[in-house]
Amino acid sequence: MLSLLILLLIAIGIVWYLNFRSISISVEGRQISVPANTTYAKLQSDGYLKANNGNLLAVTGTILTKGAGASWQAFDNGVSVSDLNQVVPDGAVITCKNGSDDTEPVTSSNSKVIPWTWQIAGGNKFNFYNSTLHVLTQIGKDGEGATQTGDISGQTVVENEYIKMQPQIMKDISAETKGKEKVVCLTYDDGPSPDWTQKILKVLQQNKVKATFFEIGNVVKNYPSVSKDVVTAGMELCSHSYNHSPSHYLNKLSEAEAKKMAEEGVAAIKDATGVTTTYLRPPGGNLNATAIKGIGSIITAYIGWNIDTDDWQRPGANKIYQTALNGVKKIGSGSVILMHDGGGDRSETLAATKKLIPKLKKMGYSFITIDQLIKIRKSELGLK
């Protein structure tokens, strides 16, 4: 019986020795006491060792999976610990370091097209309302080179670009001119209208002034002769996309859909008049980076306005006239006045136009097209 008791006490002592006694160790220069069965991994999970696994990176360098890289390392007296689950010896002097990052497996290609990108000059983010004129100053061209594509992420990096990709660059340009001549642009949207476009044209011709008409492609198809009258009258004809319905606003479309809208809008005008325009005013001013990338160099300038008469709400001819006049007085030369010849009853716009032209002439303004305005502003800014 005694011998059994002695054996039990010995067993208890061994268990205590292996599991419950404390040992003294140095961790990153700090002396601590821990249970004798403590492992290196336990020291890390308890926060004594401030080290973590590396990350798994995409080929572009972004993190794909946190902690999925190489394991963190522990060192005892400068010697690397091979198994982090082994028990720490008494008196150990432990240091550690983070695991290194690993990169995903890649597939290499010695010849791959590098699609052109687009950017705003100066590195700004695109916002249609930042300026009145958004003009392409460099056409995008694809490059070619050796690439690596991540097998997990699908992302691609260029290792050797032997045909350099040329980004497409757009510059936001204010419409206000700096020269001595005072100029203003009358612009009309949503035509052609068989009821109102020709009446407005008659007023413009009687006053011997130029204006710019932004026409909707699917409306042009219905009234091609009216669009032709705009050109015959010596006015500028530009695109207002192909479809003006909210579901077809350019900022709601994919790259491919936006390109189709722009192409069909330009084609409708060309089919009706023989004129190929590269200027577009997005319906409702709704335009984003996705649409611009999709449209590419089909459009070389996106046109806004700096005076909105809200004539489409039919506030009265005098209100339209006064809004336009007050805007010109505030902005000065380079005023771009937004009105409408299509989309409904434009009798108020017609009446306001009749009153506005003589008044602005009396104030010393001449009337130019959007194309003329862009040329003036590019010359003033030293742009090609």
Checking if the pLDDT of 19 tops 70, the result is: no
Report domain extents, the chain. Answer: 24-103, 106-173, 182-381
Tell me, letter by letter, the H, E, C secondary structure of 86-128.
CECCCCCEEEEECCCCEECCEEEEEEEEECCCEEECCCCCCCH
pLDDT band at 307 (very low <50, low <70, confident <90, very high): very high
* pLDDT for the residue numbered 262: 98
**CA-to-CA distance for 378 and 86, rounded, in angstroms?**
73
User: If you average pLDDT over every residue of the chain, what do you get?
Assistant: 94
- Written as one letter, the residue type at 109 is S
**Which two structure tokens, joined as six digits, stand for 11?**
């067993």
Checking if the pLDDT of 11 tops 90, the result is: no
Checking if the pLDDT of 17 tops 70, the result is: no
- Exposed, middle or buried, 341 (CB in 10 Å: 0-12/13-18/19+)? buried
How far, in whole angstroms, is CA 199 from its chain's centroid?
Answer: 40
pLDDT band at 15 (very low <50, low <70, confident <90, very high): low
Asked which of 111-115, 200-204, 205-209, 302-306 is least confident by mean pLDDT, the reply is 111-115
CA atoms within 13 A on the CB side of 34: 22
The architecture of the domain spanning 106-173 is: Single Sheet (2.20)
Q: What is the mean predicted confidence (pLDDT) over 45-72?
A: 96
**Which two structure tokens, joined as six digits, stand for 345?**
């009853």
**CA-to-CA distance for 17 and 20, rounded, in angstroms?**
6
- Report the C-alpha dihedral over residues 149, 150, 153, 157, rounded to 10 degrees: -50
Which parts of 151-251 are beta strand (E)? 156-163, 168-173, 182-191, 212-215, 236-239
**CA-to-CA distance for 78 and 178, rounded, in angstroms?**
72
pLDDT digits (tens, 9 = 90+) for 154-180: 998 888 888 899 999 999 999 999 999
Checking if the pLDDT of 287 tops 60, the result is: yes
* pLDDT for the residue numbered 63: 97
Checking if the pLDDT of 8 tops 70, the result is: no
Name the pairing type of β-strands 212-215 and 236-239. parallel
Q: How many CB atoms lie within 10 A of CB 366?
A: 14
**CA-to-CA distance for 374 and 208, rounded, in angstroms?**
21
* Sole residue written with tokens 């040992």: 23
**Which two structure tokens, joined as six digits, stand for 63?**
């993190």
**Which two structure tokens, joined as six digits, stand for 104?**
């995903």
* pLDDT for the residue numbered 9: 56
Looking at the DSSP bridge assignments, the partners of residue 191 are 215
pLDDT digits (tens, 9 = 90+) for 61-80: 999 999 999 999 999 999 99
pLDDT band at 6 (very low <50, low <70, confident <90, very high): low
Coil, helix or strand at residue 69: coil
* pLDDT for the residue numbered 111: 80
* pLDDT for the residue numbered 113: 86
| CATH superfamily to which 182-381 belongs | Glycoside hydrolase/deacetylase (3.20.20.370)
312 within 8 A of 347, measured Cβ to Cβ: no
Checking if the pLDDT of 252 tops 90, the result is: yes
* pLDDT for the residue numbered 7: 61
* pLDDT for the residue numbered 284: 95
pLDDT band at 5 (very low <50, low <70, confident <90, very high): low
Name the pairing type of β-strands 335-340 and 182-191. parallel
Biggest CA-to-CA distance, the chain: 129
pLDDT band at 124 (very low <50, low <70, confident <90, very high): confident
Q: What is the mean predicted confidence (pLDDT) over 226-249?
A: 98
Name the pairing type of β-strands 212-215 and 182-191. parallel
The three-point CA angle 258-262-266 to 5° equals: 170
- Exposed, middle or buried, 269 (CB in 10 Å: 0-12/13-18/19+)? buried
* Sole residue written with tokens 């009798």: 347
pLDDT band at 4 (very low <50, low <70, confident <90, very high): low
Coil, helix or strand at residue 159: strand
